[in-house]
Amino acid sequence: MAEWLITIKQKRQFMHMNLDPELKVILDEAKAMNPNGVHNTDLPLEGIRAYLTTLGKTQGLQDLHCEYIEDLIIPAGASGVPARKYQARKMQEPSPGLIYIHGGGWTIGDLDSHDTFCKLLAIDSSVTIISLDYRLAPEHKFPAAVDDCLAASQHIVTNALNFGLIESKIAIGGDSAGGNLAAVVTNLLALNKQKTPCFQLLIYPATRVLETASTDSRRELANVAILDRRTIEYFNEMYTGGLPVDPRDHRISPIYSENFENVPPAHVITAEFDPLRDEGEEYAGLLRNKGIEATYTCYKGLMHNFIMQTGRIKKARSAVKDMAEILRKRVIES
């Protein structure tokens, strides 16, 4: 199945990009599926949600086997937070772990949409993954997602043994909106002088959420396929529309966090043709300026959402191997 529907305007832009050849095939397929120029945000929300889940299952690597997968309810927040635990092989002793927060503009995505990616990361890294299923907008607007992820993460890091984890070796990560939430949660835990994860894996995180033209990459890639400005604005409206929110609220945009004391090291990942590229690089630089160890990688030729394309794009598969190696070194070997 092809990636998101491609409009005529997006078609013109990606023709002039030095895209990874395998990604270009996917975009050509999407272009052929959309001869009338229908935009994704014109589709019903439930259709968009279902499509992302199908995408994760069909474009990711197939036939992955994790020996142990368990659905959980994290006893945190008002009614608990659903989660899914992945282990490449069943661990008899406490192990290093990663709290994972899926992307989807705070509006789409769930445990199933990112199931293939979480399996792959667990297999490649030998780290236990606990994926969170936070409440989505617009049914649950800001700060519901923050509240769920904060409560669940706090519960996991303070009750590590109950989840089969080593307390000092729990990282946090996420992609896109999930990368945003992972950074926000980490900063809030540190600000409140609570126990933080030991490491952050931030995959094309949104760090300047309500500033749709704040960076060169947001301006230059405003009409790019997969995540154009209209899609970003749609997700922002779902998440915060109608609320008296401050764009500089650090619970929305972690770039505006006031205190980075006790924030753990991070690895930030972006893609060359992703509108969120520059703010991801900027966030890694901000952490370094605050005295926090932070590394950064931008994958050439790729676009937003590439972690869900590991079955179609070799470079995406290689990128996930890189992430797993960094995670393993940070939480297993350190």
As annotated, the active-site residues are 176, 274, 304
Asked if 142 and 206 count as a contact pair (C-beta separation under 8 A), the reply is: no
Torsion of CA 289, 318, 126, 280, to 10 degrees: 20
Q: Which amino acid is at 212?
A: T
Residue 258 is encoded by which pair of tokens? 């006031």
Residues 62 and 310: beta-carbon distance below 8 Å: no
Give the C-alpha separation, 194 to 256, whole Å: 20
**E runs forming strands in the chain:** 68-74, 81-87, 95-101, 128-132, 165-175, 200-203, 266-271, 294-299
Task: Give the residue from 82, 158, 68, 160 showing the smallest Cα distance to 122.
Answer: 68
Distance, CA of 30 to chain centre: 23
Residues 6+ apart with CB under 8 A from 323: 121, 124, 125, 201, 203, 267, 269
The pair phi, psi for residue 13, each rounded to 5°, is -70, -45
